[in-house]
Every structure is written in C-alpha cells, then in structure tokens.
Amino acid sequence: MQEVVLPLELGRATGSGPSRRLRLQGKVPATVYGLGKGAVTASVDYRALRGALATEAGLNVVLNLDVAGRQEMALVKEMQRHPLRGDVTHVDFLRVEPDSDVAVEVPIRLAGQAAAVLDMNGIVERSLDTLRVLAKPRSIPNELVLDVSELTVGSTLTVADLELPAGVTALVDESAPVVSGIITRSALEAAAEAEAEEAEAESEGDGDGEGAAEDDSG
C-alpha cells in the first residue's frame, strides 16, 4: 500500500464565508478526528489533495498528515463535492494506527467476459460495486477482482467467490450476491415473439398439408 505525505494547516475559521474564502485561495476546508482525540479544523492545498488521491489506492490511500514536521497517519473518511462542478468542498480525515484494523470500502472490479450470458442476450447485473472490509491501513487492497468468465444465466457469484488478501476480512455476509447472470425483459419478449412466429408458421404449414391431402382424395 502506497503512503503519501500530505501537508496540513491546523486551525481555520468555520462557517460558509471563511470556507468559501479558503476555496478561493486553492485550499480545501478539512477536519481531523479519531483515536479518541478531539476533532480539529484544518485546511489542505487542493492540488496536493488531488495528487494524493491520484494513486491506485484512490480514497483508501494511506496518508501521513504533516503538520509542521509532525506526522499522523490517516485515511479519508468522507469527502464532499460541489453538486455541479465536482470540486472538493470539504474533507474529513480519520486518524488511524498502523497496527489497528479499520473498516473501509474497497472497489470490486469485474474481469473476463460472461460469454454464456451474452450468448443468450443476457446481462451481468451487479449487486455490489464495493465491499466493506476490515484491514490494517497498510494492508488495504486497491481493489478486489472477480472473474465472471464462468457466470451463466440464472447463476450468481457471491462475496465468497472473492479472493481476499491475507489480513483482510469481509464485513458483509459471504452469501451476499455480487453479480448475477440474468435475461432482460426485452430479450424475453423477443424470444417469446420469435416462438410465437415459429408456432404460427408451423400451424400454417400444417394447414396447407391438410388442404393438399383433401384435394388428392377428391
């Protein structure tokens, strides 16, 4: 797990006005809490924060918050964004101990193609995009990979099918579905329509045969 040093300035005026002025200066209002210590207000440079979160670990990157040369290990607990621009407007940092477990959400990436599902015009329906796990900060995986190559229509891959690294424990029931192979309503309707047309064609064919037999007998 990659670690990133992130400079932090403690102490800031609270309220919408001061926070807006901080953002105009290229800084993001922040709060640091956890480990039984009181919450403190802070600010972080927007570019530095964006760079720290640009690693493969994403929001689960292990941060060493640097305040005047003194560092504290932390994770991003919550991040608020502007609803239209997407800019980060506030970030909460959670202090963590390197040897203590912490609960985090880890992204699930699907690998392979469910050929048996696609051949039947089905789709792979996701039930989970992330998995909540318990792990020590430096053991948090960047992602969990699930191979869907053997998935078939009507079958489901569950949390139990995910390979978790050593030291990582799922906080979700192992029977919880991650992906399922299903047939869409449009595919079912198309199949039913095709069957109806085929049955109608067979019926017309049988009728033509009966008429020919009657003509021959005459």
Indicate the fold that domain 104-186 takes in CATH.
RNA Polymerase Alpha Subunit; Chain A, domain 2 (2.170.120)
Tens of pLDDT, residue by residue over 142-160, are 999 999 999 999 999 999 9
Residue 4 to residue 35: CA distance in whole angstroms: 20
Lowest-confidence pick of 15-29, 81-95, 177-191: 177-191
CATH 2.170.120.20 segments of the chain: 104-186
192 vs 59, residue with greater confidence: 59
CATH class (in words) of the domain with range 3-96: mainly beta
Residue with tokens 């792979």: 124
pTM above 0.75, yes or no: yes
**What residue spans in the chain does CATH classification 2.40.240.10 cover?**
3-96
| CA nearest neighbour of 138 among 93, 75, 183, 194 | 75
Mean pLDDT across the chain: 87
pLDDT higher than 70, residue 215: no
| 210 token code pair | 């009966």
User: Over 90: is that where the pLDDT of 109 sits?
Assistant: yes
Burial 121-132 (b: 16+ CB within 10 A, else e): ebbbeeebeebe
For the cut 80, the answer to whether the pLDDT of residue 188 exceeds it is no
**pLDDT number for residue 43:** 93
Res 13: pLDDT? 66
pLDDT digits (tens, 9 = 90+) for 62-79: 999 998 888 999 999 999
In degrees, rounded to 5, the angle at the alpha carbon of residue 58 between the alpha carbons of residues 49 and 66 is 40
**Is 203 a residue whose pLDDT tops 80?**
no
Mean pLDDT, rounded, for 36-46: 92
What average pLDDT does range 191-211 have in this prediction?
Answer: 64
